[in-house]
Amino acid sequence: MSPSAVTVATLLKDLRIEWRSKDAINSMLFFSLLVVVIFSFAFNPNAEESRRIAGGLVWVAFLFAAVVALNQTWARELGNQVLDAYRVSPAPANALFLAKVLGNFLFVVVLELLMAPLFVVFYQLRSVGPMWQLVIVALLGTWALVVNGTFFAALSIRTRSREIMLPLILFPISIPALLAMVDATTMILTGGGTPDFWLKMLLVYDVVFTLVCLLLFESVLNAE
């Protein structure tokens, strides 16, 4: 099998499992819904304020929710020693990694599509700046969270308290990406300046860390 065939096969398998169980998407949806409601109680914002804080709120909700899906990425493969089977198979490690990243990326994008209307309704959001830029921020930002998240999930699956370990190592590294997403979103929503720098920043972050992940994943997968 060629690397791309391995990627597609693994991706389709994960999507099928998710389609039948809906484990990740349901828990992510419910979790981010809770964040929306709790933040609304905590800050009780009016329309003007919520436009200012929405950038932070949306991305914190998605970041926390994404961790739920990311934790399941590799945990799913531990049963029946599937991960060990991957390691002895001649399939390239990076093909597997890319499949997992693409899968998580799709889950989180679906989550964002489903949650966006809720945010608009609950926080009376109306964008002052151009809406289409939000799509770019969302795509680049989600990739930034998911590519590192998938990698660190593979790290934390090897540790003792794996569920707690993932956010502990993912959040510090993700701070610049989160800052870029939040500030760009706020800029667009409030119409305060163009987010060009942040978009470039996110692009650089995505490219750099995708490369680092691809370089190191094989060592991590085969760590003994």
Partner 1 sequence: MKSLGIGFIVVTLALLAFSTYQALFVAPTEQTMGDVQRIFYYHVPSAWVAGVCFFVNFVASIVYLAKRSLNADALAAASAEVGVVFCTIVLITGPIWARPVWGIWWTWDARLTTTLVLWLIYVSYLVLRRFAAGSQTQVLAAALGIFGFVDVPIVYMSIRWFRTQHPSPVMGGGANSGLDPAMLHAFLWNLLAFTCVGIVLIAARFRLQKMENQLEAKHTELALHGGSR
Binder among 75, 92, 193, 199 for partner 1 (CB under 8 A): 193
> Residue 104 in contact with residue 73, Cβ under 8 Å?
yes
Backbone angles phi, psi at 24, to 5 degrees: -65, -50
Query: Would you say 9 or 221 has its CB closer to partner 1?
Result: 221
Rule CB under 8 A: say whether 176 interacts with partner 1. yes
Residues 6+ apart with CB under 8 A from 171: 63
Q: If 0-12 CB within 10 Å is exposed, 13-18 middle and 19+ buried, where does residue 180 land?
A: buried
Phi-psi sector, 124: left (phi>0), alpha (psi -120 to 50), beta: left
Asked whether position 62 contacts partner 1 by CB under 8 A, the answer is no
User: How far is the C-alpha of 14 from the C-alpha of 74, rounded, in Å?
Assistant: 11
Size of site (CB under 8 A) for partner 1:
33
Exposure letters 118-141 (e unless 16+ CB within 10 A, then b): ebeeebeeebebeeebbeebbebb
Q: Of the listed pieces 21-29, 84-92, 95-103, 191-199, which binds partner 1 according to CB under 8 A?
A: 191-199
Query: CA-based diameter of the chain, in Å?
Result: 57
Task: Indicate which single residue of 29, 149, 183, 189 sits in contact with partner 1 (rule: CB under 8 A).
Answer: 183
- Interatomic CA distance for residues 163 and 166, integer angstroms: 6
Q: Is 199 in the site for partner 1 (CB under 8 A)?
A: no
Tell me, residue by residue from 101 to 140, as one string, x for binding to partner 1 by CB under 8 A and - for no binding: ----------------------------------------
Whichever of 11 and 181 has its CB closer to partner 1, that residue is: 181
State which residue, 135 or 208, has the beta carbon closest to partner 1: 208
Q: Is 197 in the site for partner 1 (CB under 8 A)?
A: yes
Question: Of the ranges 37-45, 81-89, 100-108, 170-178, which one interacts with partner 1 (CB under 8 A)?
Answer: 170-178
Is the CB of 24 or the CB of 144 nearer to partner 1?
A: 144
DSSP secondary structure letter of residue 32: H
Q: What is the DSSP letter of 128?
A: S
Which residues of the shown chain bind partner 1 in the complex (CB under 8 A)? 148, 151, 155-156, 158-161, 165, 168-169, 171-173, 175-176, 179-180, 183, 193, 197-198, 201, 204-205, 208-209, 212, 216, 219-220, 223-224
